[in-house]
Amino acid sequence: MEKRYPSRPIQPLKAIRAFFDLVGDRDDTRYVFAFFDAVNGRSNDVYFDQFLNSDYGKRYMRDPEALGRVLLDRETLGSYGPNSFAAAYLHYLDSEGLSPLGVHEAAVDVAPERMARMKENWPDLYWIQYHGALTHDLYHVLTGYGRDPLGEALLLVFSGLHTGSRGARLLGAMAGLKIRSEIPSWPVGRMMKEAVRLAKNAEHLPTADLSSLLPLPLEEARARVKIERPDLYKATRANWTGPEPVTAKAA
């Protein structure tokens, strides 16, 4: 069994099409994965090796479906108390109408046959992608970046620095430019720099056992992985009363 997934060519036109599809319907996560598929190439290879060689990665790979079981166990998560990381995670899911497996399911929807081949022939890479999909919402809660277009763009920049994903960094930057064109008063460039600084100061989230932090008070969980508050983003959102950028298309 080969460890390396076959390299996929960079497809700029496919990426541009996926970006504008996402602009038209920002709630459809499938376009995010289509964009990543078109531009990532081998930009994730270093991260994959880093994950597999980390202590946490080795534990995770012994039972990769365990993370899903933890995040789907609402009874146990709810038992950790109202101020816990788990409670904030459940509130986030419920307020946004999300499922813990939703991001992973969107990735499968984009390319079901290819994902099935990956699971059979390159299971390590399949389960690392599964891990990244399930922890995406944990990142939202820990960082404080919301699911609004600005928050998603900034989280892509943050997470792209941790995984090396060309797709995440490029999509975050392109979304930031789109938002800046719609709301010139927002200091998008400075918020991007803030996201970069916070990412560099934090622990390496992909190789941190975030599920073990769920019982902790949210602020303690953030401190454990050295995540600081995105003050400029928070202030920008708190003071904004106008329409949202990159609005979803009408149903």
pLDDT tens, residue by residue, 155-188: 999 999 998 888 888 889 998 999 999 999 999 9
Residue with tokens 């277009």: 149
For the segment 111-115, the average pLDDT, to the nearest whole number, is 84
Closest CA to 221 of 103, 88, 98, 131: 88
3-class DSSP state for residue 84?
A: strand
CA dist 233 and 235 (Å) reads 6
Helix 149-163 and helix 188-201, axial crossing angle in degrees, nearest 10:
40
Return the top range by mean pLDDT from 8-22, 39-53, 228-242: 228-242
Which of 116, 121, 208 has the alpha carbon at shortest distance from 159?
A: 208
**How does residue 1 score in pLDDT terms, banded at 50, 70 and 90?**
very low
Q: What is the pLDDT of residue 133?
A: 92
Q: List residues bridging with 217 in a β-sheet.
A: 84
**175 and 152 in contact (C-beta within 8 Å)?**
yes
What does the radius of gyration of the chain's CA atoms come to, in whole angstroms? Answer: 18
Of the pLDDT bands very low, low, confident and very high (cuts 50, 70, 90), residue 4 is low
Q: Which pLDDT band, with edges at 50, 70 and 90, does 251 fall under?
A: very low
Bin 41: left if φ > 0, else alpha if -120 < ψ < 50, else beta.
left
* Cβ 131 vs Cβ 54: under 8 Å: no
Q: CA–CA separation, 157 vs 35, rounded Å?
A: 15
* DSSP classification of residue 246: S
Phi/psi of residue 106, each to 5°? -65, -40
Residue 127 has pLDDT above 90, yes or no: yes
CB atoms < 10 A from the CB of 251, how many?
4
Average pLDDT, the chain: 89
| Residue-range domain boundaries for the chain | 12-237
Question: By the 8 A CB rule, do 132 and 206 touch?
Answer: yes
Binned at pLDDT 50, 70 and 90, residue 49 comes out as confident
- The secondary structure of 98-167 as a DSSP string is --TTHHHHHHHHH-HHHHHHHHHH-HHHHHHHHHHHHHHHHHHHHH---SSHHHHHHHHHHHHHHH--HH
pLDDT at 8 over 80: no
* Higher local confidence (pLDDT), 43 or 216: 216
